[in-house]
Structure 1
Amino acid sequence: MNNSKDIRNSNNAPRPVGLYPHARKAGNLLFLSGVGPRKKDSKEIPGVTLDTDGNIINYDIEKQCHAVFENVRMILEDTGSDWSQLLDVTVFLTNMKADFAAFNKIYAEYFKDNQPCRTTVEVNALPTPIAIELKCIALIS
């Protein structure tokens, strides 16, 4: 049975772009909703330059990787878990060919001590003008 006390949100991460929580607890697992690199209380996306219509002119995947990993870290810590408790990470990239090598290098820096399972897929687009989004599962007590 669903219970609203299982819904977890962070006051330090960007707000979700729809009606969903940052995370939800089920037993000893914490399921994070998709997390992107946006900044909290801002439309700013690190490493992204948009035209006046909101289309991407240019982006820096490295800046977006660092920002999305920090957003995940904040959500984990604010919802009762932490980075070392990550079990599974699904990565969505909008340009696998151009961005995978840089992403993989930065990912290795963040996950050298904790090595959760990982799946990386290319998607045509994400809900906001970003090049990366993470979906994570972690342990929680």
Structure 2
Amino acid sequence: MEDNIRNSDRAPLPVGLYPHARKVGGLLFLSGVGPRKKDSKNIPGVELNDKGEIVSYDIETQCKSVFENVRMILEDCGSSWDKLVDVQVFLTNMKDDFSTFNKVYADYFKDIQPCRTTVEINALPTPIAIELKCVAEVSS
């Protein structure tokens, strides 16, 4: 099974013991991907106070960063953006963020239109407002 584990050198390291992705048959399953940048504690679009709590955030900036992280992982793990077949979206504030997220999502996904599920959750493991879980086709 270990030979099915895939990781990206360009994406931020996972925050736990899991790979960026795992290849099973002709599919690539990505672990949850957030907006963090590689080798940085800085989260695009997020302002934290001294206690590490969110003071403010920009959902559009976070969306764009998440989408770029997903793109890097796909490319580095043997797939590509146009091979996405399913996207699960986790938002921490559906009421305030959904319309902006949906607009940015439409710009990025209009040509490929993968299946999508969007849910609101109470919190994510780091101070972020969005995380994506994706499935894509992959070559052998």
Provide runs of 4+ in structure 1 moved above 2 Å: none
Sequence identity of aligned pairs in percent?
74
- What is the CA–CA distance in structure 2 between the aligned matches of 1:115 and 1:44, rounded to whole Å? 30
SS in 2 for 1:49: strand
Offset of residue 48 of structure 1? 0.2
- Taking the aligned partners of 2:39 and 2:107, their CA distance within structure 1 comes to 27
> RMSD across aligned C-alpha pairs, in angstroms?
0.3
1:10 and 2:13 correspond: no
Amino acid at match of 1:70: E
Aligned to 2:28: 30
- Name which of 106, 119, 122 aligns with 1:121: 119
Q: What is the aligned partner in structure 2 of residue 76 from structure 1? A: 74
Which runs of structure 2 are paired with 1:1-141 in the superposition (5 Å)? 3-141=1-139
Shift of 1:106: 0.2
Report the alpha carbon displacement of residue 121 of structure 1 after superposing the two structures with TM: 0.1
Where structure 2 has 5 or more consecutive residues not aligned to the other structure, the ranges are none
Q: What is the TM-score of this pair, normalised by structure 2?
A: 0.99
Look up the SS of the partner of 2:132 in the other structure: strand
Q: 1:77-112 deviations in whole A, cap 9, x for unaligned?
A: 000000000000000000000000000000000001
1:100 partner SS: helix
Q: Normalization by structure 1: what TM-score?
A: 0.98
CA distance in 2, matches of 1:58, 1:85: 34
The aligned length equals 139
